[in-house]
A = this chain, B = another copy of it.
Amino acid sequence: MSGFSAAPMGWNSYDYYDTSVTEADVRANAACMAERLRPCGWEYVVVDIQWYAHRPNAQRERYQYLPFGELAMDEYGRLLPDPERFPSSAGGAGFTPLADDIHSLGLKFGIHIMRGVPRLAAHRRLPVRGTSVSADEIADPASICRWNPDMYGVRNCPAGQAYYDSLLELYAGWGVDYIKCDDICNTDNASPFYEGAYGARHEVEMLARAIQNCGRPIALSLSPGPALLSEAWHYAKYANLWRITDDLWDDWRLVKAMFRRCELWQEHVAPGSWPDCDMLPLGRIGKGFGDERDTRLTRDEQRTMMTLWCVFGSPLMVGAELTKLDGWTLSLLTNRRVLALLDAARRRTQIRRDDHEAVWLSERRDGGDPHAALFNLDDAAREIAVPLSELGLPSTPATAEELWSGRRVLCGDGVLTATLPPHGCALFHVEPHT
Protein backbone atom coordinates (compact mmCIF):
# COMPACT_ATOMS: atom_id res chain seq x y z
CA MET A 1 0.00 0.00 0.00
CA SER A 2 1.33 3.42 -0.80
CA GLY A 3 0.64 6.76 0.82
CA PHE A 4 3.39 6.91 3.43
CA SER A 5 6.58 8.51 2.23
CA ALA A 6 8.91 8.20 5.22
CA ALA A 7 9.84 5.01 7.05
CA PRO A 8 7.93 5.03 10.35
CA MET A 9 9.86 5.89 13.51
CA GLY A 10 8.51 5.41 16.98
CA TRP A 11 8.35 3.59 20.28
CA ASN A 12 6.83 0.20 21.07
CA SER A 13 5.89 -1.06 24.51
CA TYR A 14 6.90 -4.69 24.04
CA ASP A 15 10.61 -4.83 24.74
CA TYR A 16 10.25 -3.27 28.16
CA TYR A 17 6.73 -4.18 29.25
CA ASP A 18 5.80 -7.44 27.52
CA THR A 19 2.03 -7.73 28.15
CA SER A 20 2.03 -5.59 31.31
CA VAL A 21 1.96 -2.05 29.91
CA THR A 22 -0.54 0.44 31.37
CA GLU A 23 -1.97 3.72 30.27
CA ALA A 24 0.31 5.59 32.67
CA ASP A 25 3.34 3.86 31.13
CA VAL A 26 2.25 4.80 27.65
CA ARG A 27 1.65 8.41 28.59
CA ALA A 28 5.04 8.70 30.29
CA ASN A 29 6.85 7.31 27.27
CA ALA A 30 4.85 9.51 24.90
CA ALA A 31 5.82 12.56 26.90
CA CYS A 32 9.50 11.64 26.71
CA MET A 33 9.26 11.01 23.00
CA ALA A 34 7.54 14.30 22.35
CA GLU A 35 10.20 16.17 24.24
CA ARG A 36 13.39 14.41 23.24
CA LEU A 37 12.87 12.41 20.09
CA ARG A 38 10.13 14.06 18.09
CA PRO A 39 12.42 16.77 16.69
CA CYS A 40 14.39 14.05 14.94
CA GLY A 41 11.33 12.44 13.37
CA TRP A 42 10.18 9.92 15.98
CA GLU A 43 6.42 10.04 16.09
CA TYR A 44 4.62 6.70 16.60
CA VAL A 45 3.60 5.47 20.05
CA VAL A 46 2.57 1.82 19.75
CA VAL A 47 0.82 -0.23 22.45
CA ASP A 48 1.82 -3.83 21.89
CA ILE A 49 0.16 -7.15 22.60
CA GLN A 50 -2.83 -7.96 24.85
CA TRP A 51 -3.97 -4.50 25.93
CA TYR A 52 -7.41 -6.14 26.12
CA ALA A 53 -6.37 -8.77 28.68
CA HIS A 54 -7.11 -8.64 32.38
CA ARG A 55 -3.94 -9.21 34.41
CA PRO A 56 -2.37 -11.14 31.55
CA ASN A 57 0.85 -11.72 33.43
CA ALA A 58 -0.84 -13.38 36.38
CA GLN A 59 0.96 -16.68 35.66
CA ARG A 60 3.88 -15.16 33.83
CA GLU A 61 6.30 -17.88 34.97
CA ARG A 62 4.15 -20.50 33.20
CA TYR A 63 2.53 -18.62 30.35
CA GLN A 64 3.41 -15.53 28.40
CA TYR A 65 -0.20 -15.47 27.22
CA LEU A 66 -2.57 -16.83 29.83
CA PRO A 67 -4.86 -19.47 28.26
CA PHE A 68 -8.56 -18.86 28.64
CA GLY A 69 -7.90 -15.58 30.44
CA GLU A 70 -10.42 -12.77 30.84
CA LEU A 71 -10.60 -10.35 27.91
CA ALA A 72 -12.46 -7.04 27.56
CA MET A 73 -14.84 -7.28 24.60
CA ASP A 74 -17.88 -5.44 23.30
CA GLU A 75 -21.17 -7.01 22.23
CA TYR A 76 -19.86 -7.45 18.67
CA GLY A 77 -16.81 -9.48 19.65
CA ARG A 78 -14.42 -6.56 19.33
CA LEU A 79 -11.71 -6.42 21.96
CA LEU A 80 -11.48 -3.33 24.15
CA PRO A 81 -8.73 -1.96 26.36
CA ASP A 82 -8.68 -3.58 29.76
CA PRO A 83 -10.21 -0.89 31.96
CA GLU A 84 -8.03 -1.72 34.95
CA ARG A 85 -4.85 -1.06 33.00
CA PHE A 86 -6.30 1.67 30.75
CA PRO A 87 -8.70 3.61 33.02
CA SER A 88 -9.55 6.31 30.49
CA SER A 89 -11.06 3.62 28.26
CA ALA A 90 -13.86 2.94 30.71
CA GLY A 91 -17.46 3.49 29.79
CA GLY A 92 -17.00 2.66 26.13
CA ALA A 93 -14.41 5.33 25.39
CA GLY A 94 -11.89 2.80 24.19
CA PHE A 95 -8.54 4.25 23.24
CA THR A 96 -10.01 7.61 22.25
CA PRO A 97 -8.85 9.63 25.27
CA LEU A 98 -5.33 8.20 25.14
CA ALA A 99 -5.05 8.68 21.38
CA ASP A 100 -6.33 12.23 21.65
CA ASP A 101 -3.70 13.11 24.19
CA ILE A 102 -0.96 11.52 22.15
CA HIS A 103 -2.10 13.40 19.09
CA SER A 104 -2.03 16.61 21.10
CA LEU A 105 1.69 15.99 21.65
CA GLY A 106 2.19 15.99 17.90
CA LEU A 107 2.55 12.20 17.87
CA LYS A 108 0.74 9.31 16.25
CA PHE A 109 -0.96 6.39 17.98
CA GLY A 110 -0.59 2.72 17.13
CA ILE A 111 -1.94 -0.57 18.47
CA HIS A 112 -1.09 -4.23 18.16
CA ILE A 113 -3.77 -6.73 17.20
CA MET A 114 -3.88 -10.48 16.72
CA ARG A 115 -5.27 -11.70 13.42
CA GLY A 116 -8.82 -13.00 13.73
CA VAL A 117 -11.86 -12.93 15.97
CA PRO A 118 -11.77 -13.78 19.70
CA ARG A 119 -12.35 -17.47 20.36
CA LEU A 120 -14.79 -16.47 23.06
CA ALA A 121 -16.84 -14.44 20.59
CA ALA A 122 -17.20 -17.52 18.44
CA HIS A 123 -18.07 -19.89 21.25
CA ARG A 124 -20.60 -17.32 22.53
CA ARG A 125 -21.94 -16.74 19.02
CA LEU A 126 -21.77 -12.94 19.32
CA PRO A 127 -23.23 -10.98 16.39
CA VAL A 128 -21.00 -9.41 13.77
CA ARG A 129 -21.87 -5.72 13.73
CA GLY A 130 -23.92 -4.64 10.77
CA THR A 131 -24.73 -8.17 9.70
CA SER A 132 -27.18 -10.91 10.51
CA VAL A 133 -24.46 -13.49 11.14
CA SER A 134 -22.61 -14.33 14.30
CA ALA A 135 -18.96 -14.83 15.10
CA ASP A 136 -19.14 -18.63 14.98
CA GLU A 137 -20.04 -18.36 11.32
CA ILE A 138 -16.93 -16.40 10.38
CA ALA A 139 -14.44 -18.04 12.74
CA ASP A 140 -12.37 -20.90 11.38
CA PRO A 141 -11.85 -23.30 14.31
CA ALA A 142 -8.77 -24.80 12.66
CA SER A 143 -7.05 -21.45 12.15
CA ILE A 144 -5.24 -20.67 15.36
CA CYS A 145 -2.04 -18.98 16.36
CA ARG A 146 0.67 -21.35 17.48
CA TRP A 147 1.76 -19.21 20.41
CA ASN A 148 -1.21 -17.07 21.49
CA PRO A 149 -4.57 -18.52 22.56
CA ASP A 150 -6.88 -15.56 22.02
CA MET A 151 -8.24 -15.75 18.48
CA TYR A 152 -9.60 -17.83 15.64
CA GLY A 153 -8.75 -16.85 12.08
CA VAL A 154 -11.53 -15.25 10.02
CA ARG A 155 -12.87 -17.06 6.96
CA ASN A 156 -12.60 -15.48 3.53
CA CYS A 157 -16.21 -14.38 3.07
CA PRO A 158 -18.30 -11.19 3.03
CA ALA A 159 -19.28 -11.56 6.70
CA GLY A 160 -15.61 -11.90 7.55
CA GLN A 161 -14.91 -8.66 5.71
CA ALA A 162 -17.76 -7.09 7.66
CA TYR A 163 -16.09 -8.13 10.88
CA TYR A 164 -12.79 -6.50 9.89
CA ASP A 165 -14.70 -3.44 8.67
CA SER A 166 -16.34 -3.21 12.09
CA LEU A 167 -12.94 -3.41 13.74
CA LEU A 168 -11.49 -0.64 11.62
CA GLU A 169 -14.56 1.50 12.12
CA LEU A 170 -13.91 1.21 15.86
CA TYR A 171 -10.17 1.83 15.59
CA ALA A 172 -10.57 4.77 13.22
CA GLY A 173 -13.07 6.21 15.69
CA TRP A 174 -10.46 5.92 18.42
CA GLY A 175 -7.94 7.75 16.27
CA VAL A 176 -5.58 4.87 15.56
CA ASP A 177 -2.82 5.69 13.04
CA TYR A 178 -0.91 2.43 12.94
CA ILE A 179 -1.86 -1.23 13.28
CA LYS A 180 0.67 -3.94 13.93
CA CYS A 181 -1.13 -7.18 13.13
CA ASP A 182 0.44 -10.34 14.50
CA ASP A 183 0.24 -14.03 13.51
CA ILE A 184 -0.26 -13.10 9.89
CA CYS A 185 3.00 -12.49 8.06
CA ASN A 186 4.51 -15.90 8.71
CA THR A 187 2.23 -18.20 10.65
CA ASP A 188 4.81 -20.92 10.72
CA ASN A 189 7.39 -18.53 12.05
CA ALA A 190 10.32 -20.54 10.85
CA SER A 191 11.66 -19.98 7.38
CA PRO A 192 11.53 -17.24 4.77
CA PHE A 193 11.15 -19.92 2.11
CA TYR A 194 8.21 -22.02 3.29
CA GLU A 195 5.27 -20.96 1.19
CA GLY A 196 2.62 -22.63 3.34
CA ALA A 197 3.23 -20.11 6.10
CA TYR A 198 1.17 -17.44 4.39
CA GLY A 199 -2.17 -19.17 4.73
CA ALA A 200 -3.73 -16.05 6.24
CA ARG A 201 -3.05 -13.97 3.14
CA HIS A 202 -6.76 -13.40 2.69
CA GLU A 203 -6.87 -11.74 6.12
CA VAL A 204 -4.15 -9.33 4.99
CA GLU A 205 -6.34 -8.41 2.03
CA MET A 206 -9.39 -8.03 4.28
CA LEU A 207 -7.48 -5.76 6.64
CA ALA A 208 -6.23 -3.64 3.74
CA ARG A 209 -9.76 -3.28 2.39
CA ALA A 210 -11.09 -2.46 5.85
CA ILE A 211 -8.47 0.28 6.20
CA GLN A 212 -9.47 1.68 2.84
CA ASN A 213 -13.13 1.46 3.80
CA CYS A 214 -12.64 3.20 7.15
CA GLY A 215 -11.54 6.44 5.55
CA ARG A 216 -8.64 7.11 7.91
CA PRO A 217 -5.03 6.69 6.78
CA ILE A 218 -3.66 3.89 8.92
CA ALA A 219 -0.30 2.21 8.38
CA LEU A 220 -0.46 -1.58 8.34
CA SER A 221 2.43 -3.56 9.79
CA LEU A 222 2.60 -7.37 9.53
CA SER A 223 4.22 -9.73 12.05
CA PRO A 224 5.87 -11.98 12.92
CA GLY A 225 8.74 -12.61 10.60
CA PRO A 226 10.58 -13.89 8.84
CA ALA A 227 8.42 -12.63 6.02
CA LEU A 228 8.32 -14.94 3.01
CA LEU A 229 10.49 -13.68 0.19
CA SER A 230 8.14 -15.33 -2.26
CA GLU A 231 5.29 -13.13 -1.05
CA ALA A 232 7.13 -9.82 -1.44
CA TRP A 233 4.71 -8.61 -4.09
CA HIS A 234 1.69 -9.35 -1.93
CA TYR A 235 3.08 -7.64 1.17
CA ALA A 236 3.96 -4.56 -0.85
CA LYS A 237 0.54 -4.41 -2.42
CA TYR A 238 -1.51 -4.77 0.74
CA ALA A 239 0.66 -3.63 3.65
CA ASN A 240 3.20 -0.98 4.58
CA LEU A 241 5.60 -2.84 6.84
CA TRP A 242 6.42 -6.52 7.12
CA ARG A 243 8.81 -8.10 9.54
CA ILE A 244 11.71 -9.85 7.84
CA THR A 245 12.91 -11.51 11.03
CA ASP A 246 11.57 -13.35 14.01
CA ASP A 247 11.77 -11.33 17.24
CA LEU A 248 15.06 -9.47 17.52
CA TRP A 249 16.65 -9.21 20.94
CA ASP A 250 19.90 -7.84 22.34
CA ASP A 251 22.11 -10.67 21.10
CA TRP A 252 24.87 -10.11 18.56
CA ARG A 253 24.06 -13.31 16.70
CA LEU A 254 20.64 -11.92 15.86
CA VAL A 255 22.05 -8.60 14.72
CA LYS A 256 24.61 -10.37 12.57
CA ALA A 257 21.93 -12.58 11.04
CA MET A 258 20.08 -9.44 9.97
CA PHE A 259 22.77 -8.76 7.39
CA ARG A 260 21.64 -11.84 5.49
CA ARG A 261 18.01 -10.74 5.77
CA CYS A 262 18.80 -7.24 4.53
CA GLU A 263 20.63 -8.78 1.58
CA LEU A 264 17.50 -10.74 0.73
CA TRP A 265 15.13 -7.78 0.93
CA GLN A 266 17.21 -4.86 -0.34
CA GLU A 267 15.34 -4.57 -3.64
CA HIS A 268 12.02 -4.28 -1.86
CA VAL A 269 12.41 -1.02 0.10
CA ALA A 270 10.21 1.66 -1.46
CA PRO A 271 7.97 4.52 -0.36
CA GLY A 272 5.13 2.99 1.64
CA SER A 273 6.77 -0.46 1.49
CA TRP A 274 9.21 -1.29 4.24
CA PRO A 275 10.76 -4.60 5.05
CA ASP A 276 11.02 -4.31 8.84
CA CYS A 277 14.10 -5.34 10.85
CA ASP A 278 12.09 -5.24 14.10
CA MET A 279 12.36 -3.11 17.19
CA LEU A 280 15.64 -1.75 18.52
CA PRO A 281 16.41 -3.41 21.86
CA LEU A 282 18.37 -0.43 23.15
CA GLY A 283 18.59 1.26 26.54
CA ARG A 284 16.49 -0.20 29.36
CA ILE A 285 14.45 -3.27 28.45
CA GLY A 286 13.08 -6.57 29.71
CA LYS A 287 11.09 -5.63 32.82
CA GLY A 288 7.85 -7.38 31.85
CA PHE A 289 9.83 -10.50 31.04
CA GLY A 290 11.24 -10.58 34.56
CA ASP A 291 14.68 -9.63 33.30
CA GLU A 292 15.02 -5.85 33.49
CA ARG A 293 18.41 -4.83 32.17
CA ASP A 294 20.41 -2.50 30.04
CA THR A 295 20.75 -3.82 26.53
CA ARG A 296 23.33 -6.58 26.26
CA LEU A 297 24.66 -5.24 22.99
CA THR A 298 28.00 -3.48 23.19
CA ARG A 299 28.17 0.12 22.07
CA ASP A 300 29.82 -0.96 18.85
CA GLU A 301 27.06 -3.47 18.26
CA GLN A 302 24.39 -0.87 18.97
CA ARG A 303 25.91 1.52 16.48
CA THR A 304 26.19 -1.28 13.93
CA MET A 305 22.53 -2.07 14.42
CA MET A 306 21.43 1.56 14.02
CA THR A 307 23.63 1.97 10.96
CA LEU A 308 22.33 -1.16 9.26
CA TRP A 309 18.69 -0.31 9.96
CA CYS A 310 19.21 3.20 8.52
CA VAL A 311 21.31 2.32 5.52
CA PHE A 312 18.90 -0.48 4.65
CA GLY A 313 15.87 1.75 5.18
CA SER A 314 14.06 -0.19 7.89
CA PRO A 315 11.35 1.32 10.04
CA LEU A 316 12.74 2.28 13.44
CA MET A 317 10.80 1.35 16.54
CA VAL A 318 12.74 1.73 19.74
CA GLY A 319 12.05 -0.73 22.55
CA ALA A 320 13.77 1.20 25.35
CA GLU A 321 11.83 2.56 28.31
CA LEU A 322 12.04 6.20 27.34
CA THR A 323 11.70 7.53 30.87
CA LYS A 324 15.05 5.91 31.61
CA LEU A 325 16.82 6.96 28.46
CA ASP A 326 20.53 7.60 28.99
CA GLY A 327 22.66 10.04 27.05
CA TRP A 328 24.46 7.45 24.97
CA THR A 329 21.26 5.84 23.76
CA LEU A 330 19.75 9.24 23.09
CA SER A 331 22.76 10.12 20.95
CA LEU A 332 22.24 6.95 18.90
CA LEU A 333 18.62 7.88 18.26
CA THR A 334 19.14 11.51 17.38
CA ASN A 335 21.97 11.60 14.86
CA ARG A 336 20.12 13.50 12.16
CA ARG A 337 22.62 12.78 9.40
CA VAL A 338 22.33 9.05 10.04
CA LEU A 339 18.55 9.18 10.24
CA ALA A 340 18.48 11.12 6.97
CA LEU A 341 19.43 7.89 5.21
CA LEU A 342 15.90 6.62 5.83
CA ASP A 343 14.66 9.01 3.16
CA ALA A 344 12.41 7.04 0.86
CA ALA A 345 13.96 8.68 -2.18
CA ARG A 346 17.27 6.93 -1.64
CA ARG A 347 18.48 3.68 -3.13
CA ARG A 348 20.45 1.14 -1.08
CA THR A 349 22.75 -1.59 -2.36
CA GLN A 350 24.75 -4.22 -0.61
CA ILE A 351 28.20 -4.07 -2.16
CA ARG A 352 29.74 -7.04 -0.43
CA ARG A 353 28.97 -9.51 2.34
CA ASP A 354 30.62 -12.58 3.78
CA ASP A 355 30.96 -13.99 7.24
CA HIS A 356 33.56 -11.38 8.16
CA GLU A 357 32.44 -8.06 6.76
CA ALA A 358 29.76 -6.21 4.87
CA VAL A 359 29.65 -2.99 2.86
CA TRP A 360 26.58 -1.03 1.83
CA LEU A 361 26.09 1.93 -0.44
CA SER A 362 23.29 4.47 -0.02
CA GLU A 363 22.74 7.11 -2.66
CA ARG A 364 20.00 9.20 -4.15
CA ARG A 365 18.13 7.45 -6.94
CA ASP A 366 19.74 9.90 -9.33
CA GLY A 367 23.13 8.67 -8.14
CA GLY A 368 24.23 11.54 -5.98
CA ASP A 369 25.09 11.90 -2.28
CA PRO A 370 26.91 8.59 -1.79
CA HIS A 371 27.20 7.16 1.71
CA ALA A 372 29.11 3.98 2.43
CA ALA A 373 28.64 1.83 5.50
CA LEU A 374 31.47 -0.53 6.43
CA PHE A 375 30.72 -3.30 8.94
CA ASN A 376 33.10 -5.57 10.77
CA LEU A 377 31.19 -8.79 11.47
CA ASP A 378 34.21 -10.49 12.96
CA ASP A 379 35.13 -11.00 16.58
CA ALA A 380 38.49 -9.29 16.10
CA ALA A 381 39.46 -5.86 14.85
CA ARG A 382 39.63 -5.68 11.08
CA GLU A 383 40.66 -3.29 8.37
CA ILE A 384 38.16 -2.95 5.58
CA ALA A 385 39.11 -1.38 2.28
CA VAL A 386 36.61 -0.44 -0.41
CA PRO A 387 37.77 0.80 -3.81
CA LEU A 388 35.61 3.75 -4.75
CA SER A 389 34.99 2.04 -8.06
CA GLU A 390 33.05 -0.64 -6.21
CA LEU A 391 30.79 2.15 -5.01
CA GLY A 392 30.24 3.31 -8.55
CA LEU A 393 32.41 6.38 -7.97
CA PRO A 394 35.39 7.54 -10.02
CA SER A 395 38.73 6.25 -8.76
CA THR A 396 39.93 9.74 -8.10
CA PRO A 397 40.91 11.29 -4.78
CA ALA A 398 38.04 11.83 -2.40
CA THR A 399 37.33 12.84 1.16
CA ALA A 400 35.01 10.90 3.42
CA GLU A 401 33.40 12.00 6.67
CA GLU A 402 32.40 9.40 9.24
CA LEU A 403 28.97 10.34 10.47
CA TRP A 404 29.10 8.96 14.01
CA SER A 405 32.50 10.41 14.91
CA GLY A 406 32.76 13.36 12.58
CA ARG A 407 36.23 12.14 11.64
CA ARG A 408 37.36 12.88 8.05
CA VAL A 409 39.59 10.59 6.01
CA LEU A 410 41.30 10.94 2.66
CA CYS A 411 40.92 8.32 -0.06
CA GLY A 412 43.97 9.45 -1.92
CA ASP A 413 44.38 6.27 -3.92
CA GLY A 414 40.73 5.87 -4.64
CA VAL A 415 40.23 3.46 -1.76
CA LEU A 416 38.11 4.06 1.31
CA THR A 417 39.70 2.36 4.31
CA ALA A 418 38.75 1.97 7.94
CA THR A 419 40.00 -0.14 10.83
CA LEU A 420 37.03 -1.26 12.84
CA PRO A 421 36.68 -2.82 16.28
CA PRO A 422 34.93 -6.19 16.64
CA HIS A 423 31.28 -5.91 15.55
CA GLY A 424 31.92 -2.23 14.80
CA CYS A 425 31.09 -0.06 11.83
CA ALA A 426 31.85 3.20 10.09
CA LEU A 427 29.40 5.24 8.06
CA PHE A 428 30.99 7.57 5.55
CA HIS A 429 29.68 10.42 3.49
CA VAL A 430 31.96 10.34 0.45
CA GLU A 431 32.76 13.58 -1.31
CA PRO A 432 34.64 13.06 -4.57
CA HIS A 433 37.11 15.85 -5.29
CA THR A 434 35.93 17.67 -8.34
Using a CB–CB cutoff of 8 Å, the interface residues on chain A facing chain B are: 67-68, 119-120, 122-123, 125, 136, 139-142, 144-147, 149, 192-195, 229-230, 232-233, 263-264, 266-268, 350
A56 to chain B, nearest CB (A): 14
Instruction: Identify A68's interface contact among B122, B229, B266, CB under 8 A.
Output: B122
Instruction: Identify A142's interface contact among B146, B192, B194, CB under 8 A.
Output: B146
Chain B hits for A120, CB < 8 A = 123
Chain B hits for A230, CB < 8 A = 192-193, 229, 264
Query: Which of A119, A233, A264 neighbours the largest number of chain B CB atoms within 10 Å of its CB?
Result: A233
The 23 listed contacts between A and B (C-beta, < 8 Å) are A67-B139, A67-B140, A67-B141, A68-B122, A68-B123, A68-B125, A68-B136, A68-B139, A119-B119, A119-B123, A119-B141, A142-B144, A142-B149, A144-B144, A193-B194, A193-B229, A193-B230, A229-B230, A230-B264, A232-B264, A232-B267, A233-B263, A233-B350
Query: Which of A67, A120, A146 neighbours the largest number of chain B CB atoms within 10 Å of its CB?
Result: A67
Chain B hits for A267, CB < 8 A = 232, 267-268
Chain B hits for A194, CB < 8 A = 193
A49 to chain B, nearest CB (A): 16
- Contacts A68-B139, A123-B68, A136-B67; A233 near B266 (Cβ below 8 A): yes
Q: How many copies does the complex hold?
A: 4
Smallest CB-CB separation from A192: which chain B residue?
B230
Chain B hits for A268, CB < 8 A = 267
Chain B hits for A144, CB < 8 A = 141-142, 144
A28 to chain B, nearest CB (A): 33
Chain B hits for A119, CB < 8 A = 119, 123, 141
Report the bound CA distance from A67 to B152 in whole Å. 12
Are B142 and A147 neighbours in the complex by a CB distance under 8 Å?
yes
Report the bound CA distance from A142 to B145 in whole Å. 7
| 4 nearest A-B residue pairs (beta carbon) | A141-B149, A68-B136, A193-B193, A267-B267
Report the bound CA distance from A267 to B149 in whole Å. 37
Report the bound CA distance from A183 to B308 in whole Å. 35
Smallest CB-CB separation from A142: which chain B residue?
B146
Report the bound CA distance from A211 to B96 in whole Å. 56
Smallest CB-CB separation from A69: which chain B residue?
B136
A271 to chain B, nearest CB (A): 12
